[in-house]
Amino acid sequence: MQRYVSLAVPLSLLSGANALVRPDGVGRLPALGWNTWNAFGCDIDASKILTAAEETINLGLKDAGYEYINIDDCWSVKSGRDPTTKRIIPDSAKFPDGISGVASKIHDLGLKVGIYSSAGTETCAGYPASLGYEKIDAESFAEWGIDYLKYDNCGVPTNWTDTYTHCVPDNTNGSKFPNGTCPDISNPAPTEYDWSSSKTAQRYEAMRDALLSVNRTILYSLCDWGQADVNQWGNATGNSWRTTGDITPDWSRIIEIANENSFLMNYADFWGYPDPDMLEVGNGNLTLEENRAHFALWAAMKSPLIIGTPLDSIKEEHLAILKNKPLLSFHQDPVVGRPAYPYKWGYNPDWTFDPAHPAEYWSGPSSTLGGTLVLMFNSEDSAKSRTAVWAEIPELRDSAEKGSGYRVTDIWTGEDLGCVKDQYRVELQSHDIAALVVGESC
Ligand code: GAL
């Protein structure tokens, strides 16, 4: 039985009683890959996807760990399913050799391939989706050689509407409640309500069960935008679960999502990860500082890192961010499942929910870095200094109190900053982030 943790799995590998444990470690660590949506929207075809796969290799991204090449919305014939087999039909103009043709070429490159559907009757762009056809679609995906399914939340018929509404601050019934409350919700759930019994959870469980019944291991990535309190049931249902509405390549949106996701870090561990949406590194008019703060926060939160920019035109400086070795090694830690946590908010008092100023000071243990990951972030619109005080950092506190210094390395430059006593202060440009490994005491 693959679905739930069995006694054969060492206890140290468990994140919780209900993790979705799959063969060969699939979904144990947060996914690394590329996806069509942020790069191309609906304007996709086999050649763009194969270009991305080839560039993943040419640019050294595969060697850095990126493995999934994922097809998002708009891959099928829009008018409907095959009348006889009831299968979704790949669009032959976009995919002359079908999805299986693309999949086998991607597999030949040593990479894996992902696809997209929705837990409704239509995808968000209006293509046939899988509600009521979970088994048939899971079988098609398995037959085509699919390794990853992103499962969206559009096209939900009224008889599948939840009894209650759950508050997602940036995205409740299309409205934003930036202060983290949902004052206008007319039908909130009673406090004891178990959202794992909601219709939304059932829609996602139906596809989980279909995927578990086919003869192929397919990573399951839920995309219900944080609705139906997915943090209660996401880890038992999929390997990652979206926590917010859609990202766009705008600083204010990226940081709003980071703030929201930062409050869910207790739910992230082996086999199950909150997903603050795919990367916008390389897109829009983000500054270099904003690109690297986005990436460092996503890596520290152990979010799936799914690149969303056209790889054949990516700038060297953006590629360097995506290939940052220490951050990827923290993210892919085989021994420590938990992400970094905020240890201090900085700009705001601790635990403040602020879409423009998320927690600025983060730390997390690592089995691979030879020390603790420490991030210091400047969420303000002008250059500021930030100081990491060793005695404030949970991983360092005990020995810091005895007056130890630590060997510090700058993660962006690789520079050895020597033996640093008590604290480390940096000047940061607006929206920049310092990333350090705080290593051996000295
Ligand atoms: C949204 C989803 C996006 C993208 C889009 C495709 O609901 O959050 O990531 O998949 O649909 O139409």
Q: How far is the CA of 280 from the centre of ligand 1 (A)?
A: 14
Is the distance from CB of 34 to CB of 56 less than 8 angstroms?
yes
Confidence of residue 359 (pLDDT cuts 50, 70, 90): very high
Q: What does residue 408 show for φ and ψ, rounded to 5 degrees?
A: -120, 135
pLDDT tens string 384-403: 999 999 999 999 987 766 77
Q: Please determine, for residue 191, whether its predicted confidence score (pLDDT) is greater than 50.
A: yes
Q: What does residue 167 show for φ and ψ, rounded to 5 degrees?
A: -80, 120
280 touches ligand 1 (CB under 6 Å): no
Closest ligand 1 atom number to CA of residue 223 = 8
152 touches ligand 1 (CB under 6 Å): yes
Instruction: Supply 2's token pair.
Output: 């693959």
Confidence at residue 17, expressed as pLDDT on a 0 to 100 scale: 54
37 touches ligand 1 (CB under 6 Å): yes
Is the distance from CB of 301 to CB of 262 less than 8 angstroms?
yes
Confidence at residue 182, expressed as pLDDT on a 0 to 100 scale: 75
Pocket test for ligand 1, best of 35, 72, 123, 230 (most atoms within 8 A of CB): 72
Pocket test for ligand 1, best of 42, 116, 152, 204 (most atoms within 8 A of CB): 152
| DSSP string covering 375-440 | EEE--SSS-EEEEEEGGGSTTTHHHHHTT-EEEEEETTT--EEEEEESEEEEEE-TT-EEEEEEEE
Kindly state the average pLDDT of the residues 12-37: 84
- Structural domain boundaries of the chain? 32-242, 341-441
Q: How far is the CA of 72 from the centre of ligand 1 (A)?
A: 8
170 touches ligand 1 (CB under 6 Å): no
Residues in CB range of 385: below 8 A, 6 or more apart: 425, 426, 427, 428
Whole-number Å distance between alpha carbons of 69 and 75: 14
Q: How far is the CA of 344 from the centre of ligand 1 (A)?
A: 33
Q: How far is CA 85 from the centre of its chain?
A: 34
Burial-class residue 149 by CB neighbours within 10 Å (0-12, 13-18, 19+): buried
Is the distance from CB of 286 to CB of 321 less than 8 angstroms?
no
Whole-number Å distance between alpha carbons of 425 and 386: 6
Kindly state the average pLDDT of the residues 335-361: 97
pLDDT tens string 87-112: 999 999 999 999 999 999 999 999 99
pLDDT tens string 10-19: 333 444 457 9
Closest ligand 1 atom number to CA of residue 245 = 8
246 touches ligand 1 (CB under 6 Å): yes
Confidence of residue 158 (pLDDT cuts 50, 70, 90): very high
pLDDT tens string 252-279: 999 999 999 999 999 999 999 999 999 9
Q: Please determine, for residue 217, whether its predicted confidence score (pLDDT) is greater than 60.
A: yes
Q: Please determine, for residue 376, whether its predicted confidence score (pLDDT) is greater than 80.
A: yes
223 touches ligand 1 (CB under 6 Å): yes
Confidence at residue 401, expressed as pLDDT on a 0 to 100 scale: 67
Reduce the secondary structure of 268-298 to three states and give it as a string. CECCEEEECCCCCCCCCCCCHHHHHHHHHHH
Q: How far is the CA of 169 from the centre of ligand 1 (A)?
A: 18
Amino acid present at 182: C
Pocket test for ligand 1, best of 43, 227, 242, 246 (most atoms within 8 A of CB): 246
In 3-state terms, what secondary structure has residue 180?
A: coil
The C-alpha R_g of the chain, in whole angstroms, comes to 22
Superfamily name with CATH number, domain 341-441: Golgi alpha-mannosidase II (2.60.40.1180)
- Same-fold call for 32-242 versus 341-441: no
Q: Please determine, for residue 363, whether its predicted confidence score (pLDDT) is greater than 90.
A: yes
Burial-class residue 400 by CB neighbours within 10 Å (0-12, 13-18, 19+): buried
Q: Whose CA is nearest to atom 8 of ligand 1?
A: 246
Q: How far is the CA of 286 from the centre of ligand 1 (A)?
A: 21
Closest ligand 1 atom number to CA of residue 277 = 9
224 touches ligand 1 (CB under 6 Å): no
* Long-range Cβ contact pairs of 182-186 (< 8 A, separation 24 or more): none
pLDDT tens string 292-334: 999 999 999 999 999 999 999 999 999 999 999 999 999 999 9
Pick from 59, 150, 71: nearest CA to 103: 71
Whole-number Å distance between alpha carbons of 436 and 442: 16
Confidence at residue 7, expressed as pLDDT on a 0 to 100 scale: 32
Confidence at residue 255, expressed as pLDDT on a 0 to 100 scale: 97
Superfamily name with CATH number, domain 32-242: Aldolase class I (3.20.20.70)
Q: How far is the CA of 137 from the centre of ligand 1 (A)?
A: 19
Q: Which residue has the higher pLDDT, 401 or 282?
A: 282
Q: How far is the CA of 277 from the centre of ligand 1 (A)?
A: 10
Q: What percent of the chain has pLDDT over 90?
A: 89
Whole-number Å distance between alpha carbons of 152 and 98: 22
Is the distance from CB of 46 to CB of 71 less than 8 angstroms?
no
275 touches ligand 1 (CB under 6 Å): no
Strands (E), 21-141: 32-35, 68-70, 112-118
Confidence at residue 176, expressed as pLDDT on a 0 to 100 scale: 81
- Specify the DSSP class assigned to residue 187: S
Q: Whose CA is nearest to atom 1 of ligand 1?
A: 124
42 touches ligand 1 (CB under 6 Å): no
Strands (E), 30-111: 32-35, 68-70
Burial-class residue 380 by CB neighbours within 10 Å (0-12, 13-18, 19+): middle
Q: What percent of the chain has pLDDT over 70?
A: 95
Confidence at residue 72, expressed as pLDDT on a 0 to 100 scale: 99
Whole-number Å distance between alpha carbons of 167 and 231: 12
Confidence at residue 382, expressed as pLDDT on a 0 to 100 scale: 98
151 touches ligand 1 (CB under 6 Å): no
Which amino acids are annotated catalytic? Answer: 152, 246
Kindly state the average pLDDT of the residues 203-232: 97
Distances (CA, A) of 15 to 12, 29, 237, 335: 8, 11, 13, 12
